[in-house]
Amino acid sequence: MFIAIIAAYLCGNIYIFIRAMQMLSQLSIFWKILISVGYWLGASALVISLFFRHAEIPELLSQGLFNIGSVWLLFTLYMVLALLVTDLARLAFPALRTYGFPLALGTVVCLLVYGYFNYIHPDINQLDITLDKPISGKPMKVVAISDVHLGNGTRKPQLKKFVEMINAQKPDMVVIGGDLIDNSLLPVYQQKMEEELNELKAPMGIYMVPGNHEYISGMEECERFLANTPIRLLRDTIVTLSNGLQIIGRDDRANRRRMPIAELMKKADPNKPTLLLDHQPYELGKKDSLGIDIQFCGHTHRGQVWPMSLLVDNMYEQSHGYRKWAHSHVYVSSGLSLWGPPFRIGTDSEMTVLQIR
């Protein structure tokens, strides 16, 4: 799969490059060489960024490579689609032979501007959940987020806005469904992001489970980082709150030795309500059959952009949003932020507010 993706990306960039050179055929050889070098540096920027993600390189260089590379990734996808449309259309409309490339480029730029605007304005989704099992005291407000991806993609100013969004809800508890960290902790430490995380306010606690990106970044280092914040990391652990709600935090499936869900559930009191945090939304039906009351997952991003959303919708039995199963209330978040390209096209970033009674 990885080789296929790299091959498709390379072929797409060759196609765009050939079409661009055809449009720029009147330029001198100097400008053609200069544009070619710039083009292929941009096309390889993300690969370079990921390869050196743990290296001590200047923050500005690391940030620049990641930003250029992640934007280029999505630019390639939409530019290939747009050029295919214009190349087919010019069979019927010969004028597109001259104007096809500029038309495709302008369309893609407009689409990316829209996608960025949509990304930086996440939705706040409210959901009321009534359980069969008792919770003592008043109804409980829980802010549930996932896939923040702190690092070169989601930087400290954006994290500050997210923290303000969460605190504005005045939650009793905050839960994080994994992938708080992106690819490396180096930019997280460089930007002192723990300062913003320490501003989170939730009297009943802030709980998190690992995602696959915590393992990519280094789990032990992530644990050390989180120890300096109010976030409690749960790895195959159950915490019972004062109102009786049991928070079941499952380790990510990237850990092949994580506890089977049936074994983990043996530690829970079946007479008390349960909220399961599990980063990747697999085995939802099995968890439902075990009597788990609420499941919260992330990971999918719902593909982030169309047409990847169509693929993701078919990969998972529940790719995003809310669904009531036979017993479980299941919510799969499309993510408060995202990985890589800072665009949402056909999907939305979101924060979910659960009212549990």
**For 226-251, what is each residue's pLDDT tens digit?**
999 999 999 999 999 999 999 999 99
Distance CA 82, CA 105 (A): 8
pLDDT in tens, 338-355: 999 999 999 999 999 999
**Strands of the 173-176 sheet, one edge to the other:** 123-129, 350-356, 140-145, 173-176, 206-208, 231-233
Helical (H) or strand (E) element with 349 = none
In the prediction, which pLDDT does 318 show?
97
Instruction: Look at strands 231-233 and 206-208 and give their pairing.
Output: parallel
SS3 category, 305: strand
Torsions phi, psi of 248, nearest 5? Answer: -105, 110
Phi–psi pair at 67, nearest 5 degrees:
-65, -50
The radius of gyration computed from the CA coordinates of the chain, to the nearest angstrom, equals 23
Give the domain ranges of the chain: 2-119, 123-356
Mean pLDDT (whole number) for 58-78? 92
123-356: CATH, from 3.80.30.20, 2.60.120.260, 3.30.430.20, 3.60.21.10: 3.60.21.10
Q: What is the mean pLDDT of residues 217-230?
A: 97
Query: DSSP assignment, residue 181?
Result: B
pLDDT band at 297 (very low <50, low <70, confident <90, very high): very high
* pTM reported for the whole predicted model: 0.92
User: Could you tell me which residue, 1 or 84, shows the higher pLDDT?
Assistant: 84
